[in-house]
Amino acid sequence: MSKIYYHAKIAAGVGDPQCYKGKTGSPPRFKVGDRVKIRDLPDVFYTQTPTYTRGMSATVAELVYESPAPEDEAWGHLDKPEWFYSLIFRQKDLWPDYPEAYANDTLQAEISERWLEPA
């Protein structure tokens, strides 16, 4: 059975990423309110971590789910799910020319644990 077919089979009736709940084998590294920095890792083929967030700091808003990272899933590597976090970035931090009148605007993104380190 191919890994992709297997993934569809285990998610049927449960949903994705719910089918990976409890599969990371470790507690989450970060908690709500923690400040984290996005690592600047290479991406050979595919990632959902936006380039403009790399090297930037954010606040953990929510621990959202466990799932294989997109860069693993793209290659059919489904055996090592990771924690995913909803992170809040200040837009002024992401784009220095962002208008001062909107300095409190934020952007939220879901990023897997491999991309995060303590800020």
User: Which domains does the chain possess?
Assistant: 3-118 (2.30.30.50)
Other beta carbons less than 10 A from residue 112's beta carbon: 21
Structure confidence at residue 11 (pLDDT): 65
Say yes or no to pLDDT of 62 above 90: yes
What contacts 34, CB < 8 A, 6 or more positions away?
A: 59, 60, 118
Greatest extent of the chain over all pairs of C-alpha atoms, in Å: 56
Q: Which pLDDT tens digit goes with each residue over 68-109?
A: 998 888 888 888 999 999 999 999 999 989 999 998 999 999
Other beta carbons less than 10 A from residue 34's beta carbon: 16
Structure confidence at residue 108 (pLDDT): 97
Q: Read off the pLDDT of each residue in 12-26 and give the average, rounded to a whole number.
A: 81
Angle (nearest 5°) at CA 104 between 100 and 110: 125
Q: pLDDT-derived band of residue 6, with 50, 70 and 90 as boundaries?
A: low
Helix (H) or strand (E) holding 92: helix 91-94
Which of the 8 DSSP states describes residue 69? -
* Distance in angstroms (rounded) separating the CA atoms of residues 85 and 31: 9
pTM for this prediction: 0.86
